[in-house]
Amino acid sequence: MKRYLYILMTAASLTACVKDLDTLPLNTNEPVSEYVYGNSEEAYLAGLARLYFQFVSNDLTDLQQMDGGASEVIRAFWSVQETTTDEAKCSWENDAWVRALNTNTWTEAQNDAVYAVYVRTLQGIAYVNEYLRQTTPEKLASRNVDSTLSDKIDGFRAEARFIRAYLYWMALDCFANVPFSTEDSPFGGTYVPPQASGKDIFNFCITELEFLASAESPLNEARSVYPRADKGAATGLLARMYLNAEVYAGTPMWSKAKDACERIFSMGYSLCPDYQALFRGDNGENPDARAEMLWTVTYDADRTESYGGTSYLLAATLASTDITDQSKPNGQRNGWAGLRVPYEFVSRFFKVSGQDYVTGDYQVNDKRGAMFYIKGREESMENALYSFMNGWSCLKFNNIPHDMTEKEFLPTAETTAFGNVDFPMIRLGEIYLIYAEACIRLGQTGTALPYMAELSRRAGIDPPSSSEIESRFWLMEERARELMWEGHRRTDLIRYGFFNTDEYLWPYKGGDSYTGQAFPAYKCLFSIPPTELATNTGLAQNPGYAVP
C-alpha cells in the first residue's frame, strides 16, 4: 500500500498555483481539474494521492522561497514548533528564519519557516476544495461513474476532508485567524476567501472530524488502509483539538477529550513494545510500530527524495565529521550540522549522568533518553548558540531498521541520502497522554494512572504516583520525554502557560540571554505574512504585530 501510494503520488505530481485552481488548465493533459477524471478509479485515487503529497511536496510554485526542502510543510511546522522552545536549537545563523525562532524575537517581518507553514497549509486546503468540487455526485453522474466506484469515491472524499481538517488545525495552531474556504465557497475571478476567527476554524474542524469519526462516515475503519487516513486518525485529531480547546476557542472540553480517547482505545491500537522502533526506517513495515500509529506521513528514500520531513531530522542532527566510512550513526550519509538539543533539557527530563564527550558514552535509566549522540560535543550552548558542536545531537529518527545494527546497515546507508522513516502525525502514546491530562483535569487521576504506568514500563522506569502526575509540571515533563521532537512542544507550553512567561525559562528564551527571559504573550501566535496582507486586503494582522 505504501509503495502503491507513492506511484500514484508520482503520477499526480504535476502542480498548479493556488490561483490556477480557479480555472481549467491550458494543457488538457495536466491532471489538476476537469480533464483528469472520467470514470477511472485510478484517476480519482491519484487525485487523492496528490492531496497526501502536499505534506511532502518541495514544489516552490506560488511560494517566495529559495529552498524547496525548507518549505516542505512538515519541516517548516516542526521548525516553528520545536526551535522556538527548549527542545531544539538550530545552528544555521545565516538562514533568515533561524535567529528569530531560536530566540523568540520574530516580528511581523516575513520569516521563511512561518511563511511556509502559512502558504503550504492554505495551498493544501485549496487543493482539497478543488478535489471535492470535482467529485460531487453531480460531477460523477455526468461522467457516467457507476455506483460501485461512486461509493469508493465517497470514501476518498472523506479522506480529503480529513486532510483539510489537519491542515486547518496546523494553521489554527500557528495563526488562529486565517482565510477560510470550503468546496462550497465561491472561487475564481477576483474572489478572495474571508478571514475567519480561530474559534470559527476550530468549530469547523470539530464538526468535520466528529462526522468523519462517526459510524455514518464513509471514512475507512481504523487500522485498515495504512498509511492513508481512517477513523482512528480522525478521532485522534479530534482528541488533540479537544485537549487544546481552551486555547483555540476559549472553553475547555476535557470530557470530550476523554471520550475521544476512549473511542480510540476500542479500535485495536497497541503500544509498540520498543520505543525506538517507532522511529526507525522500517516503522511503516514493522507491525509492532504500525500498531501504535494512528496516522503517519510516509517517507521513502527511493521515491520521496525530500529534504524536509524525516530527511531533515536525520541529516540536520549530525555533522559531516560524524559521517565516516566506518560509521553512519543514523543510517544515512549526510551531515548538515543544524539541529541539536540544549543540555539543560536533556538533564532535566532524562536525568543523564556520566557523560563522556570523547567516547560518546553516558548513562540514563529512561530508555527514551538513549537516543542522543554526544561524541565530540561540548555540553553548554552558552556563548555558542550557533556552534553546532555545542549541545546534544538527537538520533531519535533513524533509518536503520529496528532489527539491524549500524554495521549491518552500513552498505545501504552509504548510498542513502533521504529518510525512510514515516513521520508519526498521531500515535497512541500521545493519546495516552491526552487521556491522562483530561482525567486529571476532571478530578479522575486514578483513571489516568494505568495508562501512565504503561508508558513508564516501556521506558523502563518506575510508574508515577497520583501526587506526582497531579503536579503542574509533571505532565509537561512527561510529554517532553514521550513526544520529544514530534512537533508538539510549542503547543504544549502554550497550553500550560509556560511558553512566554518567566515561570519556566530555557537557554535563549526571549532573546540573546543564555539564562532566558519572558516575552510578550501575543507571540503565542505568529504574524500573518506581510505578502499575504498585501495580496488579500480583507485580512487583519494578528494583535501585537505592526501592519505594513
DSSP track, 243-256: HTHHHHHSS--HHH
Q: Name the grid cell of 258.
A: 476523554
Comparing C-alpha atoms, which of 352, 163, 368, 408 is closest to residue 279? 368
Residue 112 carries which side chain, given as an amino acid letter? D
Give the pLDDT of the chain (548 residues) as one tens digit per residue: 344 444 344 333 333 333 333 333 333 334 445 557 999 999 999 999 999 999 998 765 555 554 656 889 999 999 999 999 999 999 999 998 999 999 999 999 999 999 999 999 999 999 999 999 999 999 999 999 999 999 999 999 999 999 999 999 999 999 999 999 999 999 887 888 999 999 999 999 999 999 999 999 999 999 999 999 999 999 999 999 999 999 999 999 999 999 999 999 999 999 999 999 999 999 999 999 999 999 999 999 888 788 999 999 999 999 999 999 999 999 999 999 999 999 999 999 999 999 999 999 999 999 999 999 999 999 999 999 999 999 999 999 999 999 999 999 999 999 999 999 999 999 999 999 999 999 999 999 999 999 999 999 999 999 999 999 999 899 999 999 999 999 999 999 999 999 999 999 999 999 999 999 999 999 999 999 999 999 899 999 999 999 87
Helix axes 231-243, 428-441, angle to 10 degrees: 40
Residue 236 carries which side chain, given as an amino acid letter? G
Say if residue 543 is preceded by a cis peptide, omega within 30 of 0: no
Comparing C-alpha atoms, which of 296, 264, 265, 267 is closest to residue 282? 296
Cβ contact 72:308 at 8 Å: yes
Residue ranges of domains in the chain: 309-400+408-421
Comparing C-alpha atoms, which of 133, 252, 154, 127 is closest to residue 202? 252
CA 175, chain centre distance (Å): 15
- d(CA 208, CA 192) in angstroms, rounded, equals 23
Under DSSP, the state recorded for 404 is S
Cβ contact 312:334 at 8 Å: no
Residue 322 buriedness (CB in 10 A; 0-12 / 13-18 / 19+)? buried
Cβ contact 90:339 at 8 Å: yes
Element (H, E) at 295: strand 293-297
CA angle 432/309/205 to nearest 5° reads: 55
Q: Name the grid cell of 247.
A: 486555547
Residue 506 carries which side chain, given as an amino acid letter? W
Residue that the C-alpha cell 487583519 belongs to: 540
What is residue 116's three-state secondary structure?
A: helix
- Residues 356, 357, 361, 367, CA torsion sign: positive
Residue that the C-alpha cell 509492532 belongs to: 288
- Pairing relation of β-strands 178-179 and 195-196? antiparallel
1, HSE (Cβ side, Cα atoms, 13 Å) = 10
What is residue 545's three-state secondary structure?
A: coil
